Amino acid sequence: MSTLTLFQAPPPEAIKSQILQLVVDYLTDISTVAIAPSNPLYNLYQYGIGFEVHLYLDAMDGSKGIPAELVVATDPHDPATVIGFLLYLPVKDDPEACAVAYMAVRETHRRQGVARGMLQTMLDRYPHAELACVVARVPVFEAMGFQVLAARGPQVVMNTRDHGTDGLVAVQDVAPIYRSLEVRQIHSYLLQQHGKRAMVDAEKKRDRQLDQMTRHATAFVQERLG
């Protein structure tokens, strides 16, 4: 069991820092690229996706024009400890719809209904919900009432209904993050640490994995939807 709290404004710093730590710890699970810790680019994505989540949390004050809400799961025996979070984006022009941005559950608390509880809290507010996941996760979300709609790159798009919303989802522009000085500094450090050949190989490995995941998602959806 867990204690669930809905935030419609930026969470306290103590919660925010734990959420960002979950992003760093479970990057492979939540990133579109599903990049592994063994890949030298891993640290780059840790920073990039962590900063993206940070921007979404800051945007919850309404200053960026990007609606975002947050469900946080805490340990009932230790209320100060975050064991999971669900960040989702309400859809403009459709009061029933939202899209999941990021979700993570601490490994020690998985298979205990934490993700289901957070998603249900979201669905109580926005019953028309969409998310994207890797093929292996499809059965998990099907058990929670989501159905397969389409393939989108390396992921499968799932929805609580048999169609997507016609409304618009405002999302962060991540391009400036990966053009930032901080990312350039991280990349320079990784180049010094691993060497140019290893970094080029890391990019090729990432791209091959993305291509493989994309083919897998496309084939899966074609087979599922006929």
Within a 13 Å sphere around the CA of 138, how many CA atoms are in the beta-carbon half? 18
Q: What does the angle CA 160 – CA 162 – CA 167 come to, to the nearest 5 degrees? A: 75
Contact by Cβ (8 Å): 190, 198? no
Percent of the chain with pLDDT over 70: 100
Range of the domain at 208: 3-225
pLDDT band at 34 (very low <50, low <70, confident <90, very high): confident
Residue 214 has a pLDDT of: 97
pLDDT band at 2 (very low <50, low <70, confident <90, very high): confident
CATH code, domain carrying 118: 3.40.630.30
- Number of compact structural domains in the chain: 1
Residue 148 has a pLDDT of: 97
Q: Where are the alpha helices (DSSP H) in 9-111?
A: 13-25, 27-30, 42-59
Nearest to 103, CA basis, from 143, 74, 75, 131: 131
Percent of the chain with pLDDT over 90: 88
pLDDT exceeds 80 at position 134: yes
Q: Give the predicted TM-score (pTM) of the model.
A: 0.93
Sequence-distant (≥ 6) Cβ neighbours of residue 2 within 8 angstroms: 73, 74, 75, 76, 83, 84, 109, 112, 113, 114, 117
Tens digits of per-residue pLDDT, 57-109? 999 999 888 999 999 999 988 999 999 999 999 999 999 999 999 999 999 99
pLDDT exceeds 90 at position 149: yes
Cite the beta strand spans of the chain per DSSP E. Answer: 3-7, 69-75, 78-90, 97-105, 128-133, 147-152, 155-159
pLDDT exceeds 80 at position 1: no
Residue 107 has a pLDDT of: 93
- Please state, rounded to an integer, the average pLDDT across all residues of the chain: 94
Residue 226 has a pLDDT of: 78
Return the SS3 of 75. strand
For residues 19-34, give the mean pLDDT. 93
